[in-house]
């Protein structure tokens, strides 16, 4: 890995900044604070703007209509978008499903779905986890039984993010109960409007509705919606989960928290003195700066490994996931503490309906408490910290 300043990357960052300055509409900027998905209208509007620039699919190769960016370019793009609070893209569809369809989809599946992901008009959710089958995903029990030209799906998924807004779901199902459990899993694409699907909300500790339980009761899915061969679902899942180790630390969000803490350092005050003049605050800020710099260097290293297709990137991604998410939790808690009385107020999350009277310190405090609560989940989603530690133990120390 080269530790020299990467001038190409710096000029790319300038290009992204200029694009955002010129093209991100004022009414869309800064709306996303918490790590959530934008409302549909905002997401599709932003997707259209990105498409016009040729940046509609930042994670896809050029031959699939994507930008063909390097891992570091994608990270820079995400960092700059997060810094200004640009609307989200449908990242599940872009980062997970898109590459799967490009690699394993039939020509009909590609033609039927990729243009709609690209335009942001068809939104997706991920139906993997089940009650009792999260870390041990291969034990999943949702059944899909063949009946003529259809699969009949029965079972339950849980923690399905944004199922209540999704048009389609990519689903892991059990098509065979014999033999090794991994071998009986298949990957299906299902229209959420199909009769027999029920979505029930789970309101999480941040007071928001991101999550759902999703039930399947005799849901008939055309066999053409099977991706890969029957029983190939585990292979496809490994491919899908093996993407983007360098992003596991959520560096864009860490940088944004740091900016928020720095802003508070000079604007917030306690008993007449600005926060930065208080020793405990300044020391903690310096520690966060140092930890973030260390993570950023590790991200660069893992990105370089990914470019080289090094298998070691996998365990390094686990290290990043643990370090990054633990820091996300500490920084978001610190922000709430530093806001004092204002931090204790769970202001309404910006995207859940604006127009309310401005509250004191709103520009800084708004969403902070929700964010802190939401980040409790960061050491669970995307693979729990315990599971990440097991990956490190096995692959780096052969334990
Ligand atoms: C905010 C959020 C969004 C999510 N979105 C989605 C989504 O869109 N789609 C989807 O399919 N899923 C989603 N998930 C589910 C997520 O993938 C699972 O929560 C995660 O994989 C953990 O599984 P589990 O909740 O069943 O916990 P379990 O696997 O039951 O784990 C419970 C505890 O046991 C520990 N544990 C389990 N196995 C081991 C082991 N082998 N060694 C040591 N410790 C172990 C875990 O670390 C954890 O502390 C989401 C979760 C969250 C929190």
Give the pLDDT confidence of 130-139 residue by residue, as tens digits: 999 999 999 9
> Which of 18-49 are b and which e, b meaning 16 or more Cβ less than 10 Å from the residue's Cβ?
ebbeeebeeebeebbbbbbbbeeebbbbbbeb
Who contacts 89 (Cβ-Cβ below 8 Å, separation ≥6)? 43, 46, 47, 50, 58, 120
Say yes or no to pLDDT of 324 above 50.
yes
> For the residues 33-43, what does the mean pLDDT come to?
74
**Closest C-alpha residue for ligand 1 atom 52:** 381
pLDDT (mean) for 186-200:
98
pLDDT at residue 1 in the model: 61
C-alpha Rg value of the chain to the nearest Å: 22
Residues of the chain with CATH 1.20.140.10: 244-397
Which helix (H) or strand (E) segment holds residue 124: the answer is: strand 124-127
pLDDT above 70: residue 312: yes
pLDDT at residue 362, as a whole number: 62
Probe residue for ligand 1, chosen from 126, 211, 322, 381 as the CB with the greatest number of ligand atoms within 8 Å: 381
Distance CA 46, CA 120 (A): 9
Pick the closest to residue 225 from 312, 341, 127 (CA basis).
127
- Rounded distance from Cα 134 to ligand 1 centre (Å): 4
Please state, as a whole number, how many other Cβ atoms lie within 10 Å of the Cβ of residue 247.
25
Above pLDDT 90, what percent of the chain?
A: 72
Give the distance (Å) from ligand 1 centre to CA of residue 4.
39
Ligand 1: distance of its center to the CA of 135 in Å? Answer: 5
**Residue that the structure tokens 């604007």 belong to:** 267
According to CATH, the topology of domain 124-231 is: Butyryl-CoA Dehydrogenase, subunit A; domain 2 (2.40.110)
Active-site hit among 244, 291, 306, 371: 244
pLDDT level of residue 343 (50, 70, 90 thresholds): confident
Start and end residues for every CATH 2.40.110.10 domain found in the chain: 124-231
How many C-beta atoms surround the C-beta of residue 324 within 10 A?
A: 24
Q: Can 244 be counted among the known catalytic residues? A: yes
pLDDT for residue 358: 52
Q: Best mutation site among 202, 213, 384, 393 for ligand 1, i.e. most ligand atoms within 8 A of its Cβ?
A: 384
Report the pLDDT averaged over residues 215-242.
Answer: 96
Domain 244-397 = CATH 1.20.140.10: yes
**β-strands 124-127, 168-174: how paired?**
parallel
Mean pLDDT of 158-172: 97
Q: Which residues line ligand 1 (CB under 6 A)?
A: 125-129, 134-135, 159-161, 211, 377, 380-381, 384, 386-387, 390
Cα 331 to middle of ligand 1, angstroms:
23
Q: Is the model's pLDDT at 210 over the cut of 50? A: yes
pLDDT for res 351: 46
| Confidence class for position 367, pLDDT limits 50, 70, 90 | confident
Closest-lying ligand 1 atom to the alpha carbon of residue 135: 29
CB neighbours of 219 closer than 8 A, spacing ≥ 6? 152, 153, 154, 190, 194, 195, 196, 197
């Amino acid at each position: 890995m080269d530790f020299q300043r990467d001038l190409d990357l710096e000029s790319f960052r300038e290009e992204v900044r200029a694009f955002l300055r010129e093209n991100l509409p004022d009414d869309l900027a800064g709306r996303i604070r918490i790590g959530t998905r934008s409302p549909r209208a905002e997401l599709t509007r932003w997707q259209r703007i990105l498409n016009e620039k040729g940046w509609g699919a930042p994670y896809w190769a050029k031959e699939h209509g994507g930008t063909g960016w390097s891992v570091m370019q994608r990270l820079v793009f995400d960092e700059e978008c997060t810094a200004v609070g640009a609307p989200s893209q449908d990242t599940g569809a872009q980062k997970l499903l898109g590459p799967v369809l490009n690699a394993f989809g039939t020509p009909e599946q590609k033609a039927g779905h990729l243009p709609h992901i690209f335009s942001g008009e068809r939104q997706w959710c991920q139906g993997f986890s089940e009650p009792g089958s999260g870390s041990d995903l291969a034990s999943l029990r949702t059944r899909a039984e063949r009946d003529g030209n259809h699969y009949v799906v029965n079972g339950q998924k849980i923690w399905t993010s944004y199922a209540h807004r999704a048009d389609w779901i990519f689903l892991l199902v059990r098509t065979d109960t014999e033999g090794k459990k991994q071998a009986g899993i298949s990957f299906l694409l299902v229209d959420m409007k199909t009769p027999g699907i029920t979505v029930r909300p789970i309101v999480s500790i941040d007071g928001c509705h991101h999550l759902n339980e999703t039930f399947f009761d005799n849901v008939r899915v055309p066999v053409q919606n099977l991706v890969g061969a029957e029983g190939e679902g585990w292979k496809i899942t490994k491919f899908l989960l093996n993407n983007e180790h360098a992003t596991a630390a959520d560096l864009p969000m860490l940088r944004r928290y740091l900016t928020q803490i720095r802003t508070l350092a000079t604007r917030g005050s306690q008993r007449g003195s600005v926060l930065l003049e208080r020793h405990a605050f300044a020391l903690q800020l310096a520690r966060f700066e140092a930890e973030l710099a260390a993570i950023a260097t590790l991200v660069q290293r893992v990105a370089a490994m990914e470019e080289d297709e090094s298998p070691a990137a996998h365990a390094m991604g686990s290290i990043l996931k643990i370090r990054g998410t633990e820091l996300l939790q500490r920084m978001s808690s610190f922000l709430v503490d530093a806001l004092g009385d204002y931090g204790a107020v769970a202001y309404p999350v910006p995207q859940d309906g604006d127009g309310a009277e401005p509250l004191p310190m709103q520009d800084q405090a708004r969403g902070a408490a929700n964010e802190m609560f939401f980040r409790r989940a960061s050491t669970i989603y995307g693979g729990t910290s315990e599971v990440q530690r097991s990956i490190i133990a096995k692959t780096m120390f052969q334990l």
